[in-house]
Structure 1
Amino acid sequence: MLHVEDLQIEAELLPLFNFTHSAEAEAAVCRLLYELPPTAALVVEKQDILRGFLANWSVLENFSYPKIQLREVRAFLQDVSSGRITLEVNRLRASVTMLLSEEARYQSRARYVQVIQFLHRLQQHYLHKLDPQAFPVGFRPQLLVLVRFMERFSLEDANRAIQEDSFSTALMVRFAQQLQAVGPEIIAEFWEAFHLFEAYWSIAKGIQLHALTFPNFREEGLLLEDFYHPLLKAPVTNTLILSPTENVVVLTGPNMSGKSTLLKAVGVCVYLAHAGIGVPAVRCSLPFFHSILIAINLRDSLRDGYSHFMAEIQNLKSVLHAAHGVGRTFAIFDELFRGTNVDDALEITSATVRGLAGFHHSSFLVSTHLLQLEKQLPEDNGISTYCIECVLQDGLPVFSYRLQRGWSSLKIGKLLFEREGLNSLLEPR
């Protein structure tokens, strides 16, 4: 089960990895971001593909091509494969046509030159220089699709002739014959492999640019060392270490202390780890979770007619169904049960945290403003408490955004209310 809409993958995560030159490659990046392989072994295989791109970074760092050239080459190849354009593959007829029509000669030559130069550049600058052994065995067939497509054409001879201004009618006919022999399924397979290649390159560039780290999977416990939210310009890093016996984190801290941002940063790390992509942390080691459910800034559902409280109830119900199912579950609850009155919230939050602690092989993070909860939770039962540090200086809260063990008892709502003079403003004149 996967509920990760609150991570805003396309709005916030996609820009971190999207350096593509075409809409098709961008769509492939998006698919890779949304793709969570069903086993840890398959996640690692996806990591290894990206490691292969990074190992070849001296070749691929400046991977590029003119966007307009791609569009025109792609359109021309599709027109040829669909039969909308028929190429002249008879040398005599081609010679007569080009002799009689300067427009036909110019048009044919321009199309062929564009395709040849596009493919030749990809072949010579990138594909021929790659070390295929750096890639996992399962990905090498994708590289072979690209290599073998290029080998169907005499690109080196044709490109040399173009450079020497000796691209004759005979060479054009020869290229037309080679192109006409390529079926539509082969051309479609080439473009699919090409856009996937660019998508992996784009994600690898994001990993390189943002200095992300590949995580590893382990059976129990969780380690996030110096993690942060990648969208922050000057992020404060934090470390979260959970032992194999700790599976519920209760997080406290006053408003504006950064609880939601911290929870979102943890959610981003867990999600990207399962997508086979580098995470914003110095080190990341975690179990493989079969279900990931993240509720941050949970809203009312106008479509379903749910109040905020009912939305929270339904979200918790989904988490519990997942936890009762096969495999491990990871879930984040931000300000659990804030949609109901304090007395109810305290009672059912206590029951929820105690109950979640019983799912020993899953992990849950719960933030709350209910400071009374501290006295209601038992000790040493899988529940660990953390808070975000905040101190008062000259009567004002100063936030460090640092995660530390324990509870936060600081209340700043009344303080800020009074400091802004709201008590006096509320008095009638």
Structure 2
Amino acid sequence: MLLVDDLRLEADILPLFNFTHCHAAEAAVRGLLRELPASTELVLQKQTVFRALLAQWDVIGEFSYSRIQLAEVQRFLYEVVSGQLALEANRVRLAVRLLVSEETRYRTRARYVQAIQFLQRLEQHYFRRLEPAGLPPFARARLATITRFLERFSLNSAAEAVAQDQFSAARMVDFARQLHAVSEEELAAFWAAFFWLEACWSVSKGLQEQGFVFPGFQPAGLHLTDFYHPLLAAPVKNSLDLDPADNVLLLTGPNMSGKSTLLKALGLCVYLAHAGLGVPAAAARLPFYSSIVVAINLADSLSGGYSHFLAEIRNLKAVLEAAQGPGRVFAVFDELFRGTNVDDALDITRATVAGLAAFPESCFLISTHLLQLESQLPAQPGRRTFCIECRLHEGLPVFSYRLQPGWSQLKIGRILFDKEGLPELLKG
């Protein structure tokens, strides 16, 4: 089960990793961000790709090309390989055509030269220099697809002839024959591998610029050191250590204290870890979760005909059904059951928190404004209570955004109500 829309992956997180030069590579970055491998081993293999590229950053770090040139070379290669454009493969006939028409000579030569220079630069500056040994097998195979394709052409000698103004009709014919020998499947495989590798480079660049760290996986217990949400300009970093037996975390704190942001940051760290990427933290260790749910902004469904509260109920039901399966569940609920009245919310929240103890392998994080819960919840192993620090200074709240153990009973609604002068306005 995967429900992470509230993390706003494409709107907020994708730009952190997108340094690509074309739409196809950007789509591949989106795929890397959305892809969650099915096991710890596969996650670590995906990590290895980014680690290997970062280890060879002196080779791949300045990867670039012209977007316009790419489009023109792509179109040229596709037209030739698909048979839409038949290149002259006879040296004598080509030489005559080039002599007869200056326009034909210029146009034909320009397309050949552009393709040769584009492909030769990629081969010599990047792909030939990349060391495949550090890559996992599936990544080595994609790199090999690229290098094998480029090696089909005499790029170095052709580029040298172009540089010396000796790119003759004979050389054009040689290149044409090499192009005609490429199948549509080979060309498609080359571009797919090329854009995938560019996407991996782009993600690696994002990880480096953001300073994200690769997490480690362990059988149980969740440990995040100095984690934060990467969209904050000056984030307050927090740490969280949950023992293997801790499976329910209750979070309290007044409005505007930062509960939702902290839960989003936690959810983002867990998600990015499972996507094989680095996380916004100084260090991270966590179990492998087969289901990840982050419910921060559940909305009413006008088309479906159900309210916010029913959306919460159905979401919780899906999480519990997933928790009854063989895998672990990581779930975040922000202000659970805020869609119903206080009495109902208190009753069913108490039942929910108590019932979640039946799933010790999973991890549930719940924020709440139901301060009465503190005295009504029975002692229960596996449940931890945290709050976000807030204090009053001269009658006004001061937020530190610091996570700390304990339960917050601070109420600031009335304080802010009075501060804005609403009692006087209500008197008319």
TM-score above 0.5: yes
1:66-85 correspondence to structure 2 within 5 Å: 66-85=66-85
**DSSP 3-state at the match of 1:371:** coil
**DSSP 3-state at the match of 2:414:** helix
d(CA) in 2 for partners of 1:361, 1:327: 8
Match of 1:124 in 2: 124
Q: Does 1:196 align with 2:196?
A: yes
Match of 1:233 in 2: 233
**Matched AA of 2:232:** L
Q: How many residues align?
A: 428
Deviation of the 1:380 alpha carbon: 4.3
d(CA) in 1 for partners of 2:176, 2:53: 33
1:230-269 correspondence to structure 2 within 5 Å: 230-269=230-269
d(CA) in 2 for partners of 1:161, 1:245: 69
Match of 1:280 in 2: 280
Normalised TM-score (structure 1)? 0.99
Deviation of the 1:299 alpha carbon: 1.0
Q: Does 1:216 align with 2:216?
A: yes
**Matched AA of 2:52:** G
Deviation of the 1:348 alpha carbon: 0.4
Q: What percentage of aligned pairs have identical amino acids?
A: 61
d(CA) in 2 for partners of 1:82, 1:138: 28
**DSSP 3-state at the match of 1:203:** helix
1:29-178 correspondence to structure 2 within 5 Å: 29-178=29-178
1:283-298 correspondence to structure 2 within 5 Å: 283-298=283-298
Contact 1:223-1:242 within 8 A present in 2 as well? yes
**Matched AA of 2:315:** N
Where structure 2 has 5 or more consecutive residues not aligned to the other structure, the ranges are none
d(CA) in 1 for partners of 2:234, 2:58: 29
d(CA) in 2 for partners of 1:306, 1:151: 60
**DSSP 3-state at the match of 2:358:** coil
Deviation of the 1:379 alpha carbon: 2.6
Deviation of the 1:305 alpha carbon: 1.0
CA offset digits 1:57-86 (Å, max 9, x no partner): 111111000110000000111111111100
d(CA) in 2 for partners of 1:301, 1:314: 12
Deviation of the 1:123 alpha carbon: 0.7
d(CA) in 2 for partners of 1:163, 1:378: 81
d(CA) in 2 for partners of 1:187, 1:250: 54
Contact 1:248-1:363 within 8 A present in 2 as well? yes
CA offset digits 1:40-67 (Å, max 9, x no partner): 1000000001111111111111100011
Contact 1:253-1:259 within 8 A present in 2 as well? yes
d(CA) in 2 for partners of 1:338, 1:240: 25
d(CA) in 1 for partners of 2:159, 2:203: 31
**Matched AA of 1:369:** H
Match of 2:300 in 1: 300
d(CA) in 1 for partners of 2:9, 2:314: 22
**Matched AA of 1:419:** K
**DSSP 3-state at the match of 2:267:** helix
CA offset digits 1:363-396 (Å, max 9, x no partner): 0000000000011222341110000000111111
**Matched AA of 1:75:** R
Q: Following TM superposition, where does structure 1 have runs of at least 4 consecutive aligned residues deviating by more than 2 angstroms? A: none
CA offset digits 1:309-337 (Å, max 9, x no partner): 11111110111111111210010000000
**Matched AA of 1:43:** V
1:382-401 correspondence to structure 2 within 5 Å: 382-401=382-401
**Matched AA of 2:100:** L
Give the RMSD, CA atoms, in angstroms. Answer: 0.8
Deviation of the 1:347 alpha carbon: 0.7
d(CA) in 2 for partners of 1:354, 1:140: 49
CA offset digits 1:109-151 (Å, max 9, x no partner): 0001000000110011111211111212231111111111111
**Matched AA of 2:95:** S
d(CA) in 2 for partners of 1:132, 1:79: 31
d(CA) in 1 for partners of 2:356, 2:16: 34
d(CA) in 2 for partners of 1:303, 1:241: 41
Contact 1:52-1:136 within 8 A present in 2 as well? no
d(CA) in 1 for partners of 2:340, 2:267: 25
**DSSP 3-state at the match of 2:372:** helix
Match of 1:8 in 2: 8
CA offset digits 1:251-300 (Å, max 9, x no partner): 00000000000000000000000000000011111110001111001111
Contact 1:252-1:369 within 8 A present in 2 as well? yes
d(CA) in 2 for partners of 1:379, 1:399: 30
d(CA) in 2 for partners of 1:82, 1:149: 16
d(CA) in 2 for partners of 1:11, 1:4: 13
**DSSP 3-state at the match of 2:226:** strand
Match of 2:354 in 1: 354
Deviation of the 1:189 alpha carbon: 0.6
d(CA) in 1 for partners of 2:241, 2:135: 32
Q: Does 1:184 align with 2:184?
A: yes
**Matched AA of 2:85:** I
Where structure 1 has 5 or more consecutive residues not aligned to the other structure, the ranges are none
d(CA) in 2 for partners of 1:141, 1:245: 42
d(CA) in 1 for partners of 2:385, 2:22: 47
